[in-house]
Structure 1
Amino acid sequence: MAHLLGAEALHLEYPTKVVFDSVTLGLNEGDRVGIVGRNGDGKSTLLAMLAGRLEPDSGRVTRRRDVRLGVLDQSDILDDEQRVADAVVGGVEEHVWAGDPRVRDVIAGLLGGIDWLAPIGGLSGGQRRRVALAALLVGDWDVLFLDEPTNHLDVEGIAWLAQHIKGRWSASDGAMVVVTHDRWFLDEVCTATWEVHDRLVEPFEGGYAAYILQRVERDRMAAASEAKRQNLMRKELAWLRRGAPARTSKPKFRMDAAAELIADEPPVRDSVSLTQMATARLGKDVVDLVDAGVELGGRTILEHVEWRIAPGERTGILGVNGAGKSTLLALVSGALEPTSGRVKHGKTVRIASLTQQLDELKDVWDDRVREVIGRYRTSYVAGGKELTPGQLLERLGFSSAQLSTPVKDLSGGQKRRLQLLLILLDEPNVLILDEPTNDLDTDMLAAIEDLLDSWPGTLLVVSHDRYLIERVTDQQYAVMSHRLRHLPGGLDEYLRLRAEEERAIATGGVSPAAATSSTTTAPPALAGADLRNAQKEQSSIERRIEKLTGQIEKQHLVIADFDQSDYVGLGTLTAELTALETQLADLETRWLELAELLA
């Protein structure tokens, strides 16, 4: 494959830190490279040097003479006075750019809902980011350098971007180098991974899953000082190999040694034990949303929401921006009252929310980290082990020196981790995470996921990070057409439904998600035999729901009394319980459909 660019003996340092020392690497046609590493180790700096935006102190970057480089910076360089159309296609006439399939695909994939003639200055931060990315992708480049391209993109936008990159060039043409914390995107797109750490760049073959496999093998042979980091990566590898085996099908390197590392690694979560502990802390009643709806300013946000949140439930919430996810969580937390239906909270429920605004830190902004954590409990149990707050901070990547740092001087990622720690030390039994991955690198995301694995409570997560959703939750729901919809097929089902919805809107039809919404179409009136049959079916379903509810309660008791060391038996009982709960959910959905027809 043809060589595109290379870096030779790169050295870069600042007055207080050497960033890179004698780094040599190359980029060939067909390469799709993901850059990972801890925040502050130089990922964006490396990208800037390769792209020619930053000169090294010594060494050099060479590029083939005819190579065309396209760069997406983290910084916003758009002109506020420009219109969206001018920023994306410049002065090109519409009949010209509209005839280019790539341009049409980029506009449809990234700029849906953005006014084509709107001035840049009136756009939100997320919309500006989409415009900048679109302006780059409509160009014809040999190499794309992307610095955090998934920021401000939702699940659909990230999936679109992955497909666009995979289809942009043939397998042996073009090249891409991306810095991102989105591990699903790294796995979906990248054929190689560069880890930036300790002044050097270490190459690995394959995407994120392959990188983890090789890193575990590397850490196994490392010094004893790496033991804690190794154990965390072993757990991450166990999930990747067992929870999503398809992701590890690409690596060409020998995998048997890595497989041996996780032969005795238990599942990432002991779901049965966690459910038992959650039930003990919460009882059987957590939060019930019964035919709940919200109207604001004469506009329907949510309607007919039925959701009975169980103790120990771990649920991911999906939906486009503005669909009503935040409104739904506000109903759950009690911050918002429904305008129809009702929301019932269990007597022992203590709800905490990890918000995007760092609200929990406002009162301690000028205090030192050590002083802040000293006001909370002296111990915390995680994974069956009792940890001090200081040990928890170490587990979340804080050094002992940082304990004396004022909260206001912490980095964005450190503030995010401290925010989560303070919430956990307050011992809630229902935890709501709203976009928890902001400002966190892949290692810190793995550490937080590890901490959440042993958290014995009900967990609700809203995130555009597909990897996180699949990693820490056991089921997913979507807010679509004002309703809450269960997704047995997970994120793949959500993306399929959204694609069908977009096609239906484009052709003037009714989307699948909206087909049952009372705001879009009225249910047909029933009469005669149809009416009697619907009433009989509803009565039958009510009896079956009552019977299934009793069976589920009995199954919970059986699991509670079962030998907890018998993992095989517990797994069988848990699978039976899941099957019963799935039947119940299907029956409840059908009952609601009939109730709407009979209304």
Structure 2
Amino acid sequence: MSCLRSPVAAGWPVDPNWGHGRVAYPGRVAHLLGAEALHLEFPTRVVFEGVTLGIDEGSRIGVVGRNGDGKSTLMSLLAGRLEPDSGRVTVRRGTTMGVLDQRDILPLDLIVSDAIVGGRDEHEWAGDPKIRDVISGLVSDIPWAAAIGDLSGGQRRRVALAKLLVGDWDVLFLDEPTNHLDVEGVAWLAAHLKTRWSANQGALVVVTHDRWFLDEVSTDTWEVHDGIVEPFEGGYAAYVLQRVERDRAAAVTEAKRQNLMKKELAWLRRGAPARTAKPKFRIEAANALIADEPPVRNQVELSQMATSRLGKDVVDVIDAGVSYGDREVLRDIEWRIAPGERTGVLGVNGAGKSTLLKLVTGDVLPTTGRVKRGKTVKFAVLDQQLADLHEFADDRVSTVVGRFRTSYVAGGKEMTPGQLLERLGFTTPQLQTAVRDLSGGQKRRLQLLLILLDEPNVLILDEPTNDLDTDMLAAMEDLLDSWPGTLLVVSHDRYLLERVTDQQYAVLDGRLRHLPGGVDQYLALRREGAGSGEARTDRPTSAGYVAPPTAPALSGAEKRNAEKEVASLDRRLAKNGADRRALLDSFADHDQNDYEGLAALQQQVAALETTIEELEARWLELSELLEQ
């Protein structure tokens, strides 16, 4: 089955300048690349069945889907690195394509400078602002004369990305480009890609699990699933809305997945208004879908439950510092962690984030100051190593889970471990799989489940998004929403930080700083050189990324009044939306020969739409103030 209509089948004329027959789209920008009736099979399954799609000048496409469904394979087919079993990919003559895959194969004896600028003299490449921007944005901390073999995996990845971006390409294919980039690096890459071409030039196809990045750079989304590629307008936020609408319209039986995406939409709509203000994201439709959807977390209830489990004291870090010999990593740290607190920790690599968390857990002792922990505190850490699964490598998943508790309460409902595994994306056959045979994402999910079954009351997540696709990230976030404990998260995944935490701190120049303005404030501080001992003062500002102006913080009374007005606006928007839908429905029942009556109905609809637009504008204005 074809997801997108074939241009040739549509009867559009063929341009002789096209390499294998160029399609001249009426009224559209130039076509760069097309795929027609792609079919691909692996020994165990059909990967794609009759996929037809195209990439035009100006396309900015994000590719999402479950791990293993074929996202990277699709990119390889389009880039000409993999041949389909049938069907064909046609490329306009003269079109250049650059590809970043996940293998990052660079000769180990190659020098960084040669890898990026190809051995050209400095006076040749230094005059190119694009090359200077890429070097400053991605590899300013990597020795220019170092050999590739002497670099870490993350540094090699950044060199490979820089090598690609200094070139001139008509189409860029990027497979997980944000891997090994910190929050600043991701923001820089998004700004670079948004300004790399003019609006109707070049094309970008990106596979990534970073949902904030998807929203920033994509104007269209392709979902790869069940052997097809399904197109959606807009970035990740708009994709979530349309997927909820699609599931509802089709009366999909997988109610659990539908409800999960509605919850995701509720957060996108209420918690991040800047995303949903984009023209392609239909705010009215979103309001209708989430009118009865509660907030993603009941913070009062969770705080009460956490207090009952933890008591009033969790961890107090008082005037603490950590030094290794002459090197001072942390200093003057004052951090009082409360029951039920959900905190994200930001900082560049090497800033001291891991040391800070180990200071909290007791794995690192303070050189100065002290750390006081509550008597009932029970820590658990979801780290990047998966070390706690090694002892279960030869056991089946069901056996491992059965050694823990027989039930677990999530969202007020008692669930068996099997139901929790299903909620985290495990199928029945996978329960009989040995742990060693699980994929990286499956091991990550199993690790989280085992930690939750052990009932810690302070959970630390250290880069927990590795190996997880967007659906599984949403499932993990949904599970954490009902977890009644203190949550500390270190991650370069901006979307995750904003989704599961309620406040953010940054480690800057060895000190801990609260960020009332969240990630945007952190990025602004880094650009301004806050924490001069580590700030990237050479981070370019010409790439197009400009932080939004920061409004004065609201006082306590002003904040309460604003929150009340937002709640009132929510109710009025829901009522006006319902009234508008009722009026539109009445058009069908009205006498179509009663022109005056129809005109009156139209005037009522127009008046309601004007009111809704005004209410939405005020809602967005207040929401932005509350986010400061």
TM-score range, shorter chain: 0.7 to 0.9
Hey, what does 2:70 align to over in structure 1? 42
User: 2: distance between equivalents of 1:306 and 1:422?
Assistant: 32
User: 2: distance between equivalents of 1:363 and 1:222?
Assistant: 45
Counterpart amino acid of residue 442 in structure 2: Q
Matching residue within 409, 413, 433 for 1:381: 409
Instruction: Tell me if structure 2 keeps the 8 A contact 1:210–1:251.
Output: no
User: 1:454-491, CA deviations, whole angstroms, 9 ceiling, x for partnerless residues?
Assistant: 00000000000000000000000000101011011100
User: 1: distance between equivalents of 2:535 and 2:256?
Assistant: 55
Deviates more, 1:205-214 or 1:290-299: 290-299
Q: Does 1:208 align with 2:236?
A: yes
TM-aligned CA distance change 1:82 to 1:67, over 3 Å: same
User: 1: distance between equivalents of 2:187 and 2:92?
Assistant: 31
Matching residue within 182, 186, 207 for 1:158: 186
Secondary structure of the corresponding residue to residue 349 of structure 2? coil
Q: How does 1:562-577 map to 2 (within 5 A)?
A: none
User: 1: distance between equivalents of 2:436 and 2:279?
Assistant: 43
Instruction: Tell me if structure 1 keeps the 8 A contact 2:338–2:486.
Output: yes
TM-aligned CA distance change 1:503 to 1:266, over 3 Å: closer
User: 1:11-43, CA deviations, whole angstroms, 9 ceiling, x for partnerless residues?
Assistant: 000111000000000000011000000000000
User: 1: distance between equivalents of 2:281 and 2:264?
Assistant: 19
Per-residue deviation, 1:222:
2.9
Hey, what does 2:478 align to over in structure 1? 450
Per-residue deviation, 1:252:
3.0
User: 1:75-94, CA deviations, whole angstroms, 9 ceiling, x for partnerless residues?
Assistant: 02111101000000002111
Hey, what does 2:348 align to over in structure 1? 320
Q: How does 1:188-587 map to 2 (within 5 A)?
A: 188-252=216-280, 255-501=283-529
Per-residue deviation, 1:339:
1.0
Counterpart amino acid of residue 61 in structure 2: V
Secondary structure of the corresponding residue to residue 365 of structure 2? coil
Secondary structure of the corresponding residue to residue 84 of structure 2? coil
- RMSD value over aligned CA atoms? 1.9
Per-residue deviation, 1:281:
0.5
Secondary structure of the corresponding residue to residue 225 of structure 1? coil
Secondary structure of the corresponding residue to residue 221 of structure 2? strand
Paired-residue identity, %: 75
Hey, what does 1:70 align to over in structure 2? 98
Matching residue within 97, 118, 130 for 1:90: 118
Hey, what does 2:562 align to over in structure 1? none
Deviates more, 1:147-156 or 1:220-229: 220-229
Hey, what does 1:61 align to over in structure 2? 89
Hey, what does 1:133 align to over in structure 2? 161
User: 2: distance between equivalents of 1:387 and 1:350?
Assistant: 22
Q: Does 1:170 align with 2:206?
A: no
User: 2: distance between equivalents of 1:209 and 1:109?
Assistant: 27
Instruction: Tell me if structure 2 keeps the 8 A contact 1:193–1:203.
Output: yes
Per-residue deviation, 1:223:
4.0
Instruction: Tell me if structure 1 keeps the 8 A contact 2:342–2:503.
Output: yes
Counterpart amino acid of residue 391 in structure 2: D
User: 2: distance between equivalents of 1:154 and 1:311?
Assistant: 28
Instruction: Tell me if structure 1 keeps the 8 A contact 2:56–2:203.
Output: yes
Instruction: Tell me if structure 2 keeps the 8 A contact 1:19–1:199.
Output: yes
Counterpart amino acid of residue 193 in structure 1: T
Secondary structure of the corresponding residue to residue 254 of structure 2? helix
What is the TM-score of this pair, normalised by structure 1?
0.84
User: 2: distance between equivalents of 1:502 and 1:114?
Assistant: 21
Instruction: Tell me if structure 2 keeps the 8 A contact 1:193–1:207.
Output: yes
Instruction: Tell me if structure 1 keeps the 8 A contact 2:529–2:536.
Output: no
User: 1: distance between equivalents of 2:281 and 2:183?
Assistant: 31
Any gaps of 5 or more consecutive residues in structure 2?
A: 1-28, 540-555, 557-566, 569-628
Secondary structure of the corresponding residue to residue 114 of structure 1? coil
Per-residue deviation, 1:260:
1.2
Instruction: Tell me if structure 1 keeps the 8 A contact 2:154–2:180.
Output: yes
Instruction: Tell me if structure 2 keeps the 8 A contact 1:109–1:160.
Output: yes
Secondary structure of the corresponding residue to residue 172 of structure 2? strand
User: 2: distance between equivalents of 1:322 and 1:222?
Assistant: 49
Per-residue deviation, 1:502:
7.7
Counterpart amino acid of residue 386 in structure 1: E
Instruction: Tell me if structure 2 keeps the 8 A contact 1:3–1:29.
Output: yes
Per-residue deviation, 1:334:
1.1
User: 1:152-195, CA deviations, whole angstroms, 9 ceiling, x for partnerless residues?
Assistant: 00000000000000010001110000000000000011000000
What is the TM-score of this pair, normalised by structure 2?
0.80
TM-aligned CA distance change 1:439 to 1:164, over 3 Å: same
User: 1: distance between equivalents of 2:535 and 2:308?
Assistant: 51
Dislocated runs of 4+, deviation >4 Å: 502-509
User: 2: distance between equivalents of 1:312 and 1:506?
Assistant: 31
User: 2: distance between equivalents of 1:291 and 1:205?
Assistant: 51
Secondary structure of the corresponding residue to residue 350 of structure 2? coil
Per-residue deviation, 1:225:
2.3
User: 1: distance between equivalents of 2:536 and 2:404?
Assistant: 57
Deviates more, 1:37-46 or 1:327-336: 327-336
Hey, what does 2:9 align to over in structure 1? none
Instruction: Tell me if structure 2 keeps the 8 A contact 1:206–1:251.
Output: no
User: 1: distance between equivalents of 2:454 and 2:535?
Assistant: 51
User: 2: distance between equivalents of 1:288 and 1:355?
Assistant: 23
User: 1:491-513, CA deviations, whole angstroms, 9 ceiling, x for partnerless residues?
Assistant: 0000011111189679999x9xx
Instruction: Tell me if structure 2 keeps the 8 A contact 1:205–1:251.
Output: no
Counterpart amino acid of residue 306 in structure 2: A
TM-aligned CA distance change 1:100 to 1:16, over 3 Å: same
User: 2: distance between equivalents of 1:66 and 1:256?
Assistant: 44
Hey, what does 1:27 align to over in structure 2? 55
Per-residue deviation, 1:298:
2.0
Instruction: Tell me if structure 1 keeps the 8 A contact 2:61–2:218.
Output: yes
User: 1:34-76, CA deviations, whole angstroms, 9 ceiling, x for partnerless residues?
Assistant: 0000000000000000000101000000000010100001002
Q: How does 1:13-24 map to 2 (within 5 A)?
A: 13-24=41-52
User: 2: distance between equivalents of 1:483 and 1:222?
Assistant: 53
TM-aligned CA distance change 1:326 to 1:261, over 3 Å: same
TM-aligned CA distance change 1:108 to 1:466, over 3 Å: same
Per-residue deviation, 1:210:
0.4
User: 2: distance between equivalents of 1:295 and 1:257?
Assistant: 54
Secondary structure of the corresponding residue to residue 54 of structure 1? coil
Instruction: Tell me if structure 1 keeps the 8 A contact 2:359–2:365.
Output: yes
Instruction: Tell me if structure 2 keeps the 8 A contact 1:12–1:19.
Output: yes
Instruction: Tell me if structure 2 keeps the 8 A contact 1:383–1:454.
Output: yes
